[in-house]
Structure 1
Amino acid sequence: MSASARRSDAVQNRTRIVEAARAALAESHHIHLNEIAKRAGVGQGTLYRNFPNREALLAEVYRRDVEELVTTASALLAEHEPVEALRHWLDRVIDYAEVKRGVLAALEPAAWQDLVAHSHNPIEGALGHLLNAGKAAGSLRADVDAHGVLLLIAYLSRLDRDEWESTARPLMNVILEGLRRQDADR
C-alpha cells in the first residue's frame, strides 16, 4: 500500500470514528470508546492513535459540527432565498445543539468552556451573514442582530432531553417567524 493510500485510509478511519461518536451522542450522553470503535469498524488501537482519550474525540465531534454549521450558511444562501436559507440553517442548529448538549455533558467544565468560547464567534458570524442577506432582500426585520438571535436560541438548551424532539423545532419556527418582516411577502 502506498503512503498516499495509507494516509487516505487513515483519514477515512478518523472520519468514521467521528461520525460514529456523533451518532452515539445523539442517542446518549454516555458513550464508551470500545463501542465507538465497533460502530466505526476500526480497532481500539486505531481509535486511540487518532484520539488519545474520550475528551479529544468529543472535542473533534464538536469542532466538526461547528465547522459544518458555519460553512453551510453560505452554501444555503447560494441555493435558497434568505428566509429559506435561514430556515434550513436553523434546522441544522437543532441537530448541532443536540450533539453539543451530549458533548458538554460528557466533558469536564474547563474543556467544554474552551470549546464553546472558540465556536461562538464563527457561529455568530454565519448567522449574521444569513440575517444580513434577509435584511438586504427585505424579508427579515432590520432591528435584530446575530447576538440577540443566538441568545434566543440558547434558551432551547433549557429543554429536557425527553422534550427536545417534540419542542425544539416548533420553538425554532417561532424564532424564525419572529425574524420575518411582517410586511414582507411570504
Structure 2
Amino acid sequence: MPDRRRADARRNYARILAVAEDEVAVHGADASLEQIARIAGVGSATVRRHFPTRRALLTAVSRERVEALRVRAHDLATEDDARAALLAWLHDVLAYCVAARGLAAALAYDSAASDPVHDNACAATLQEAAAPLLRRAAQDGAVDPDVTVADLITLLVGIALATEHAPDPAVRADRLFRLAVAGLGAPRGGGRPGT
C-alpha cells in the first residue's frame, strides 16, 4: 500500500523516528517528547500528529527489534530441545529489553485496555511469535501448561524495568532471569542444610 503522506510529512516522520531512537536509547521510555521535537527541528504538535501517544512512539522505535525477535522465534521453533529453545528466545527478548531501554515499556501491558495484548502491537507480535515455542515446551512437559506468553513477557518486562538503573543492567537482568528460570530451590544434594 503506497504511503499517501506528503513528502515533507514522510521526511518529518523519518527524522522524528531517528531522533526518538537515539533519545530512547539514552533516556529510556521517559525520553522527552519536547526534546525529540527540538532535536528533530519540528514542533511538539508535529511529533504528536505522527505519534499521538508515548506508547505509539515507543512501538515505532521498537518495531525493527520486535521483528528481529519474531524471526528468531521462528528460527528456534525447529530446535530439538523445546525448553532450551523457549529459554533462548526469552533471554534474547530480555537482552533486547535491557539494551533498548524503551522496549520494556513498549511491551508492558496496559491493564486498562479492553484487549491488553492486541491493543499493543509489540506485545501482539511477540505473543504470536512465542506461542509455538511455549506450546512445544508445554507438550514436552518442560513448562507448566498454565503458563502463558503474557506471563513470560510480563516477567521479562519486570526484570528489565527493575534493573534499568543498575550499574550493569545486563548482568543484573541475566542473574534475575536465571533465578526466575531455576526457581528458589537449592540444587538437590548440593544445597546448604536448612535451605
Classify the TM-score, shorter chain. 0.5 to 0.7
* Identical pairs, percent: 16
> Match for residue 87 of structure 1?
91
Q: Which amino acid aligns with 2:92?
A: H
> Match for residue 22 of structure 1?
21
Name which of 129, 134, 140 aligns with 1:131: 134
1:1-186 equivalence runs, <5 A: 7=7, 10-28=9-27, 29=30, 31-33=32-34, 35-39=35-39, 42-45=40-43, 48-52=45-49, 56=52, 58-64=54-60, 67-68=63-64, 71-80=67-76, 83=85, 84-95=88-99, 98-99=101-102, 113-114=112-113, 117=116, 118-119=119-120, 121-134=124-137, 141-144=142-145, 145=147, 146-156=149-159, 159=162, 161-163=164-166, 165=169, 166-175=171-180
C-alpha separation in 2, matches of 1:115 and 1:67: 22
What TM-score, normalized to structure 2?
0.55
CA shift digits 1:100-147 (9 cap, x unpaired): 56679xxxxx9x9559932255543333233235557x5x82425323
Deviation, 1:48, is 3.3
C-alpha separation in 2, matches of 1:116 and 1:94: 26
Deviation, 1:56, is 2.2
Whether contact under 8 Å (2:73, 2:89) holds in the other structure is yes
Kindly tell me the number of residue pairs found equivalent between the two proteins. Answer: 161
Deviation, 1:10, is 3.4
C-alpha separation in 2, matches of 1:123 and 1:23: 23
CA RMSD of aligned residues (A): 4.4
